[in-house]
Structure 1
Amino acid sequence: MALGFIYWLSDFYNIRNLFINSLSEIRLDRSHWLFILGIFAVVFLNLWHYAGSVYSLNFQGLDDYHAYFVYPHKMLQMGSLGPDPFSERRLSSLGGHPFLQTFVLSALGNENLHLIDPGVSFLISVGLLLGYFKDKNLRKEAAILLLFIFLCIYYPQLNTSSTVTGTAMFLSLFRSLDWEEMESSRWIPNACIVALVTAGVWSLKTSLIPACTILVIASYFFYILGAKGDRRTAASECLLAGILTLLLLLPWMISMYQSSGTLLYPLLGKGYHGSAYGTYLHKNFTLVQALKVSIGSVINVYGVSVGLLGFAILRWRNWTISGREAPLSFLISAAVVMPIIGLSTGGTDSYRYGFPVISAAIIVLMTGAFIQTEAGEKSKLSNTAPVLIAMVVAGIMIGNNSNSLKLRYSEFAGNIKSGINNVALVSDQQIAQHIKMQQSIAEGETLLTRLERPFLLDFKRNKILLADWPGGASPPPGMPLFKGSEPLADYLTSQSIRYVAYSYAKEAAYSKSFLSSSISTENTWLRNQAENAWDFQANLKELGNNRQRLYDDGDIFVLDLLSRKKLK
């Protein structure tokens, strides 16, 4: 990060005169009042959005507290993610996003873990779009309008995992592929740039990999196809970019293999995932359900929006292959990946997982519609048709989530107030509770946890393992579920796990009453997760009745699985 900041200062110093000249060329008068108002609206939304993301008490307990808070804390204390074979979320990414979060926690606190996503990531995305608009010589009025639309696209933030960060990375990848200075004669540096950004996207979250891969492959396909006499150089760049991407990801992949038994889930094996034992995820997912999910993931607001913009681009485009065809490749990626994500999640929150590529693709395709209109030489009606379609899409996207968008921006006021008052996310009493609990076992011992706030533990003192989604991941032969408490105890002790900590009073914030509405749906993924977790927790509760409790404060207990209670 320090090297990147130094490079930015050096780059800014070199272009300082160009920047100053650009500012001096701006001329505004009262006749441009609408444009001035648009600038103020965009700047205000940006600042309000960022300020509301700096400090927050709104986090998702099941995802953030159980796992996503843990990983950066563990990385800072231990120096790496380390092995965590019982953590299902450990398989959901190579670890790039927790690595980014360590920069926040190295200077700030848990309350600031929305700072990068969406805070900083939104600013970076806006900057990337401004640069793109400038490269395409887009009129300033159109640029402000598109930025306003982008800031009004509702982002489905459920937890602190990568959402808007993925958008920024996809925009960065698109701009790299669309960059006019990537000449064929510089194919080695070109491959390095593409590989760096591609590896960054891959590392953030497994759900981003299909869209990223399709985008890069499609772009290189068009590049090689249109290269004609220089196809060997184009093919060499493609091959080198692929090799460099894998080399950049290899350390992360080795770490995942050491932890969870696969270099990359699920592309290179299931590893320790529960589905490898036939007891987890989509065990009742029929062909009819698969078709229903696939169709539903496309026939919705976002699928229709991408389809309309795709029509606007394809209907009036010049069908000669030119360069890397980054916009067309982005369209293909967004269209193909929606049913893929739908199938992989059983239809649950498919838009949330696909948001990074869908949001980036929509704003890029909208920009393409404006570019076509400004460069068009057809009749007035056909010339403006792409922009009209783009405005219809903007209305659909914003109108569909207008209420959620209002709530999101109103939440920022509460976040800013909490930040000013420095309201703590975790009390001193809760911190002391976890310190005392952990001291009930000897230093260096392994502890399997099913806690409400495991991120408060000292990861240097003990080897801490997370049962974040019980049964979702576990070493062979797999965690025994629905077989009673004693087989579970035998399995854990066979894995050299003697001590288990459980927030039994609150059922680790995952009781049946808490999620009864969620599992009543037809989604087998959610229902499977819930049923496995409840069975695991019921077994821990039963073990709490016949195993020695080394610690019990009425909220959390620590069990010694090798010490049975003496009968009275």
Structure 2
Amino acid sequence: MITKVLVSGILTILYSASMFGWGRMFETVIGVRLPWPLTLIHGLAVLLALGGALNLVGIAYAGTLDAIVVLGWGLAVLLPWLALKSSAIDVKSLMPSAQELRAWAIPALFIITVFAFIDTTQVPPSAFNFHDDFEKYLTFPVRMLATGTLQAGPFSALGGQTLGGQAFLQGFVLAHWPLGTVNAVDALFALTMCLLLATSTTWKVGMPAWLLPIAPILVVVINPQYVNISALYTGAALYMALLVIPWSVRGHSPSLPAASVGIIYAGMVAIKTTFLLPVVIHFLLAALVIAWSTRRLWSTIVWCAQVGATSLLFIAPWLGVHFSVWRGLWSVSAPLGDVTESTVVAVPAAQDLNLFSLDPIFYGFGASQAHYTGAILVIVICTLFILALFRYSKAYDSGSSVPWLFVSGTVLIFNFLVFNIVLNGYIGRELALRYICPIIIAGLPAIIAATFFALSRYNGNIYRTKILKRITIVMVLGIVGAFLPSTAARVQQAVRFGNTLSFSAKASRPAYLNYNRYVFSPSAVAAVKSLQIQVPEGEPLLAWMSFPFHLDFARNPVFDVQPGGLSTPWMDFPLSQNPEATSNYLRLKEIKYVAWQYSGFAVRSEASLSSTQSWAGNPRFLQDPHDLQRTLQFNQALVELIKISEVIIDNGAIVLFRIPE
């Protein structure tokens, strides 16, 4: 166990060194210098930008990714050496002081403990999400390394639910280690970045050394509602950087460099499209702050244009990767005519929303809506503290940092309101709350740091400052105490069952764990390989399977099917039971062979899809019935298509057939 943790730690340091090199290069180009945890975040954003370009030209192979790592190491050595040679920086400034080392001792011990615990209990985890992960998220990096690109076709969730940024990052792990370890990218590496950034930020703003561990503790104890290996802590790390950069730029007045913002915006959207809304909210509030603080309309317009241009520059390659699929928006000719308004009855979730409900949420490990609302209330109060210190005290040093401190809180409040009240009626309160978790995880340590930063600049009544600090500390400790039971439940599940999947009842069942073991077994690999060998090399294959990542994507162009892909606006597949229409559609895409898994542990059978239509009346989940309806129709279309096709193999679980000429 110790050896495993040491190896993982060394690998984390090595990959971090490469990211530091890329981040320092970016900061050198844009003319800023940030604390090293923020430099790592910039390096992460640069890697995501490179990932889009590599996938667009189709060279995102293992060797290319290794070259990026090596180049990052070179930059990490070269740039500091050049700076030292030119006397641009003092060697002593690079070394931590004795005071800083003492302050970091306890937080560092906590971070190392968390790292070791996650590495030993959850890398690889004993179980993945048998739908989200097995059908899509594990398949994405496998596809990329095999083909050099994440272009997947119209049946995939790629281009809709994600542009592929997280899969690109997972490719660095998959290039050298088993598939099951790719969860380390988010659950281990990205979480560690969040912990380091939270600690660094609170230290820089003058939080007492004895209180410094509270920042990383907040990141850990807030239940992230972990349900799959998509971006969670990765998004939190990027968003936390957005919130703390304004008062972290060395040698400059507090500001928000447009290039820095733009590349982080692009990175967030690349890893998961649900982060687009938090990005938009941050952009609008940041623009308002610039307009208010500068009183210059033209400066605000220029900043907005620079951010927009930078974001577009770095996200454009990812958009290009999926443009061929999105073109279907212009060719959709009502293929979904059977899906009517009456098919899915969405009860307005707002009627069921109670922000202070103590009822355990579905993914909460015992936590409730009130827990997260409490965290937001702490953010609201801290934001009001910052506003009061600035607005009502003439003795306050009202430098340009104050508006940015204030925006750190208002951004989080607006996100919470939009997700939990506005979007609640469209996607359901459970899903809305889950989507806001990374933002809360990023925001709570940031606003605590902002509050202490504001208090450290306050030159007024010392007694008042002490009172506000104590109130802030008590509120933070209250949030930690409120989430401790759910944290304990997550720890217990990790120790006993080797995972922290938030659907804990299912994720701890022997049948579920046994199925996960089978999926990665040689027999499962052999079953998929024996089927694919029946398809001539180079022939396109439509694959609707429970674990398609065992397919050889380099041998055959694979169109893997996912419910998230079937429900995209550009999906033009004829979801009818007319086999001729289905056959014609597939032939137009040069698809002759179809592999369909119609039976098995994770298969959505027609009976189960039909019975779960009752979810449409459940305000917790409003998005699922739409996906389920299209999945049911797609399955029915395949049933009819088989009747006029040539069955090659039918092993009782998977059928491979060739459609007629």
TM-score bucket (shorter structure): 0.7 to 0.9
Superposition deviation, residue 223 in structure 1: 2.3
Equivalences for residues 46-125 of structure 1 within 5 A: 46-125=115-194
- Report SS of the residue matched to 1:550: strand
Distance 1:200 1:383, change over 3 A: closer
Count of aligned pairs between the two proteins: 538
- 2-structure distance, mates of 1:424, 1:10: 47
1:406 aligns with 2:491: yes
CA contact (8 A) 1:65 1:454 kept: yes
Closer/same/farther in 2, CA of residues 245 and 386 from structure 1, 3 Å limit: same
Deviates more, 1:142-151 or 1:333-342: 333-342
Q: CA deviation at 1:369?
A: 4.0
Residue identity in the other structure for 1:330: S
Structure 1 residues 182-239: Cα deviation after superposition (integer angstroms, max 9, x where no partner): 747999xx322222222111211111111122113312321232124x6644542332
Alignment match of 1:303 (pick from 340, 349, 373)? 373
Counterpart Cα distance in 2 of 1:477 and 1:513: 25
Which residue in 1 is equivalent to 2:317?
Answer: 251
Q: Tell me the equivalent position of 1:6.
A: 74
SS of 1:312's partner is helix
Between the aligned partners of 2:341 and 2:247, the Cα distance in structure 1 is 39
> What is the DSSP-based 3-state SS (H/G/I as helix, E as strand, rest coil) of the residue aligned with 1:61?
coil
Cα separation, 1, equivalents of 2:199 and 2:341 = 42
Query: Contact conserved, 2:127 with 2:499, CA < 8 A, in 1?
Result: no
Q: What is the 5 A alignment of 1:458-497?
A: 458-469=552-563, 471-473=566-568, 477-481=572-576, 483=577, 487-497=581-591
* Cα deviation, residue 114, structure 1: 0.8
SS at match of 1:501: strand
Task: State yes or no: 1:145 paired with 2:145.
Answer: no
Per the alignment, residue 349 of structure 1 pairs with 431
User: Cα offset for 1:95?
Assistant: 1.4
Report whether the alignment pairs 1:499 with 2:624: no
Q: Distance in 2 between matches of 1:282 and 1:106?
A: 47
Contact 2:598 2:605 in 1 (8 A): no
- Aligned AA (2:76): W
- RMSD across aligned positions (CA): 3.7
8 A Cα contact 1:281 1:525, kept in partner? no
How far apart are the structure 1 equivalents of 2:370 and 2:334? 31
- Residues 116-515 of structure 1: matches in 2 within 5 Å? 116-181=185-250, 183=252, 190-228=257-295, 232-233=298-299, 235-261=301-327, 279=339, 284=344, 289=348, 291-292=350-351, 300-315=370-385, 316-319=388-391, 322-323=400-401, 325-342=403-420, 343=423, 344-371=426-453, 377=461, 378-379=463-464, 381-382=467-468, 384-399=470-485, 401-410=486-495, 426-469=520-563, 471-473=566-568, 477-481=572-576, 483=577, 487-506=581-600, 509-511=603-605
Residue in 1 that maps onto 2:12:
none
For the residues of structure 2 that align with 1:169 and 1:207, how far apart are their CA atoms?
14
Structure 2 gaps, min length 5: 1-67, 85-89, 358-368, 392-397, 501-516
Question: Does the 8 Å contact 1:274/1:472 carry over to 2?
Answer: no
> In the TM superposition, what is the alpha-carbon distance from 1:40 to its structure 2 partner?
4.0
Query: What secondary structure is seen at the aligned counterpart in 1 of 2:195?
Result: helix
User: Residue 246 of structure 1: CA displacement?
Assistant: 0.7
> Residue 649 of structure 2 aligns to a residue in which SS?
strand
AA aligned opposite 2:162: S
Please tell me the residue identity of whatever aligns with 1:318.
Answer: F
Cα distance in 2 for residues equivalent to 1:538 and 1:309: 49
What amino acid sits opposite 2:247 in the alignment? D
- Contact 1:448–1:465 under 8 Å retained in 2: yes
How big is the shift at 1:102?
1.0
Letter in 1 for 2:376: V
SS in 2 for 1:92: coil
Question: Contact 1:88–1:468 (CA<8 Å) still a contact in 2?
Answer: yes
Q: Aligned equivalents of 1:25 and 1:524: distance in 2?
A: 49
| Matches of 1:409 and 1:373, distance apart in 2 | 39
What letter matches 1:93 in structure 2?
A: T
One-letter identity of the residue aligned with 1:62: H
* TM-score (normalised: structure 1): 0.82
**For the Cα contact (< 8 Å) 1:220–1:324, is it kept in 2?**
no
Q: What secondary structure sits across from 2:390 in the alignment?
A: coil
State how far apart, in whole Å, the 1-side matches of 2:343 and 2:373 are: 27
Partner SS for 1:113: helix
**Which amino acid in the other structure matches residue 410 of structure 1?**
V
CA–CA distance in structure 1, aligned partners of residues 353 and 335 of structure 2: 21
Q: CA deviation at 1:458?
A: 1.3
Determine if contact 2:648/2:655 at 8 Å carries over to the other structure.
yes
Cα offset, 1:11, TM superposition? 6.4
* Paired residues of 1:260 and 1:272 also in contact (CA < 8 A): no
2:649 to 548, 551, 559: 551
Quickly say closer, same or farther: Cα 1:507–1:52, change in 2 above 3 A: closer
